[in-house]
Amino acid sequence: MELSPYLQGIAEDLEKVTALADDHTREITGRLLNALEPSLRMALVRAISDTAAIVTADLDDVVAVVRMDGRDPVISVDRTGESQPAAAPTADEGDDYVRVTVRLPEGLKQRAESRATQAEQSLNSWVVQAIRRASHDAGFAPPFMRPPMPGGRRTTGWA
């Protein structure tokens, strides 16, 4: 996904806003925009990644993955092919998302991250699916594990 058109749109809007300003103000605005470009790009990537996590959590047998190709994100949506679907959201879950802080023992967190990586999911998506399955069915089945994609390169973490 090419982010440059979105960033260019922000730059054009900023130019319009400062069109009546003096030359010095427009010059400073241009410098600020150049300095902010990496942060704006990262904010867009985070928004895209969060969207992919929501898609993965909400759709059965689908994993949305965001990978970086240079400076631009590449989005892929793949079917998992698992015979057991993820538990569907129940009526009491609603449509609102809330942020929760969970303190986990380091070893448990590492195992969860490892499982999420194997499933090519974010830790958040993996945890959401694990909780859905655990609370939906007494015969809890762990979140699906997806075989690694051949030849795929995966980058995780923050830049």
What residue type is assigned to position 31 of the chain?
R
Which pLDDT score is estimated for 24?
94
Q: Which residues contact 54 (CB under 8 A, 6 or more apart)?
A: 97
Number of Cβ atoms within 10 Å of the Cβ of 58: 17
Tell me which residue of 84, 103, 89, 79 sits closest to 54, measured CA to CA.
89
Whole-number pLDDT of residue 94: 62
Which pLDDT value is given to residue 144?
44
pLDDT number for residue 83: 41
Query: What pLDDT is recorded for position 157?
Result: 55
Divide the 159 residues of the chain into consecutive groups of 10 and give the mean pLDDT of each group: 89 90 92 91 89 84 84 83 52 68 85 86 85 63 44 51
Q: Three-state SS string across 35-64, please?
A: HHHHHHHHHHHHHHHHHHHHHHHHCCCEEE
